[in-house]
Structure 1
Amino acid sequence: MRGTGPRASTHRVRSGIEGVRHARPATDTGVATDPRDGDREVLALVATPFTTVADAHRRLLALERLFVTREDRRAVFLSIYARVTELVGDAIDRGTFEDGEWVARYLVAFANLYRQALYDYETGDLDALSDPWQLAFEAAARGDCLVVQDAMLGINAHINYDLAFALHEAGVATNRRRKYADHCTVNEILRCLVDEAQDTLAADYDAPGITTVDESMGRLDEVLSIRTIREGRDSAWRNACALDSRWAVRRRLARWVTRVTATGAAHLLLSPNASSRVHGALREFEGRLGEAETTDDRVTED
């Protein structure tokens, strides 16, 4: 796992460069139009805004279960995200935060951005869908990514793209230091969840080698690193503050930086897929490592 110093900053610069390289043309109002009715069961869960933390958690969990039943790889991200929503909600109930009401607004706004992205994708409104989410959902639909890639693509879109807008919607102008302290407290909750999340993905998605694959993929493991998540969340906080600026140019810059870095990071996460040989080897490693380790253990015991 890597830190938030020069290497993390270099990674964000690299993500930004990739985002610019893959950006939609300035004259393009969208990548495509593909209006469709969408899946009724999915739309029933995301057609209306979440109103409370409990409502968000209930529907996110229902979505996860629905996707798991259908072997829909969008379940991978939700296995982590529904749990995060539950744990932060529990912390609000325990009075962990200085301003629990604000954290609740922030959590619901955050969940609604995921809900809206999923709704836009289901209904084919790709003009409204951000690039990071489109890349994540399309990868899940293809089903050809590693489990850790599916997880990281969702985490990237939600933290590196959605979070700044969720914070801005919840409001960061007043009592900013207190709100930032609560924002950082969420980091501690996430820190406690990282190992659990990796174990969950390994067990639930038949990927026993996921931890070692994560380590073997070099910079790709940063998205599951709490230090990198913290750095991304700090960046989102700065962009949220910029979105609150009275200067239009600063607001536009914050939106642009948020979009290109999240889009670039998504393309970097997908980069191993460019080589069928590398990607195939990693997929085999992710799914079979646990079996090999079990065999080695038996040999040792004998």
Structure 2
Amino acid sequence: MNDGSPIADVVARMQDRLAALPTELAHRRFFLSTYLRTTQAVGRAIDHARFEDPEWVELWDVKFAELYLQALDGQFVARPWRLAFDAPGELPPLAHVLLGINAHVNYDLPQALLAVISDEDFLDQRLLDRRRRDHERIDGVLAERVSAEDDELAASSAKSLLDRVLTPLNRLSSQRFLRESRQKVWHNTVELQHARLDGSYDKRLAELEVLSAAKVADLLRPGQVLLRLAVTGFGVTLPPV
């Protein structure tokens, strides 16, 4: 990741937020730290030419991160983020990470994609296919982080015997719901783009907020979250109009 790049700037802003977290909000560091390391990994993937359009991926990744930073700073906190931020601090670190991922991917990611894919771009099928392929390539970067992030979380808390036994399954489940959620995100992006054209964008975004908040609320229920996600899925789907 090149110093002075837009992604390096976002990473620095995340590091500033991490250093400034007050004690009473210490539980927010679990998702923030995970997201910081993931953003660094995306930056390295861009440097290593793993995307067809690296400049576009960098712009998109920065737009995506800025939506999270706005919520973290309290500038605009949609209901999925309110539920994730207000979750009990004593929840396991993994739970806080999953709550953050859920709110950010299901609610923020379609908005970030629309911010960097114009209505004219949607008319260019070759360009749109390239955007979708780069969107899917992010899965490879994230999948590579699953094992390392599991180790980070293990170091931050004592794992129960059940958690240790389930770790391999949890990692497989993580990769599965990453793929599943990304497919749904693309669907929701297309639905929101249609809404952008016909003037119903605010209404459809409000629907996405409700669906995303309901999924976060479901994650707050007691039990093995990753096992439940393996059955119910991670993403949400906007119904067709």
1:234-281 CA distances to partner (integer Å, 9 max, x unpaired)?
2112212222222334x4564244212211111111111xxxxx79xx
After TM superposition, list the pairs within 5 Å mapping 1:1-302 onto structure 2.
Answer: 52-67=6-21, 72-120=26-74, 128-139=76-87, 142-171=88-117, 173=119, 174=121, 175-203=127-155, 205-209=156-160, 212=163, 215=166, 225-245=174-194, 246-249=197-200, 251=201, 254-272=204-222
The amino acid across from 1:202 in the alignment is A
CA RMSD for the aligned pairs?
Answer: 3.1
Q: SS of the residue aligned with 2:50? A: coil
User: Quick one: percent identity of the two aligned structures?
Assistant: 33
Task: State the distance in 2 between where 1:93 and 1:101 align.
Answer: 10
Change (3 A) 1:223 1:72: farther
Task: State the distance in 1 between where 2:132 and 2:78 align.
Answer: 26
TM (normalized to structure 1)?
Answer: 0.63
C-alpha displacement at 1:90, in angstroms? 1.0
Task: State the distance in 2 between where 1:135 and 1:70 align.
Answer: 16
The amino acid across from 1:78 in the alignment is L
For structure 2, which runs of at least 5 residues remain unmatched after alignment? 122-126, 226-241
Task: State the distance in 2 between where 1:241 and 1:214 align.
Answer: 40
C-alpha displacement at 1:108, in angstroms? 0.5
Q: SS of the residue aligned with 1:225? A: helix
1:3-26 CA distances to partner (integer Å, 9 max, x unpaired)?
xxxxxxxxxxxxxxxxxxxxxxxx
Task: State the distance in 1 between where 2:13 and 2:185 align.
Answer: 25
Task: State the distance in 1 between where 2:112 and 2:133 align.
Answer: 16
Q: Higher Cα Rg: structure 1 or 2?
A: 1
Q: Is contact 1:53–1:89 with CA below 8 Å preserved after alignment?
A: yes
Q: Is contact 1:152–1:224 with CA below 8 Å preserved after alignment?
A: no
Count residues with an aligned counterpart. Answer: 213
Task: State the distance in 2 between where 1:56 and 1:62 align.
Answer: 10
Change (3 A) 1:56 1:211: farther
Q: Is contact 1:131–1:263 with CA below 8 Å preserved after alignment?
A: yes
Task: State the distance in 1 between where 2:118 and 2:184 align.
Answer: 14
C-alpha displacement at 1:183, in angstroms? 0.6
Q: SS of the residue aligned with 1:208? A: coil
The amino acid across from 1:79 in the alignment is S
Task: State the distance in 2 between where 1:183 and 1:172 align.
Answer: 15
The amino acid across from 2:180 in the alignment is E
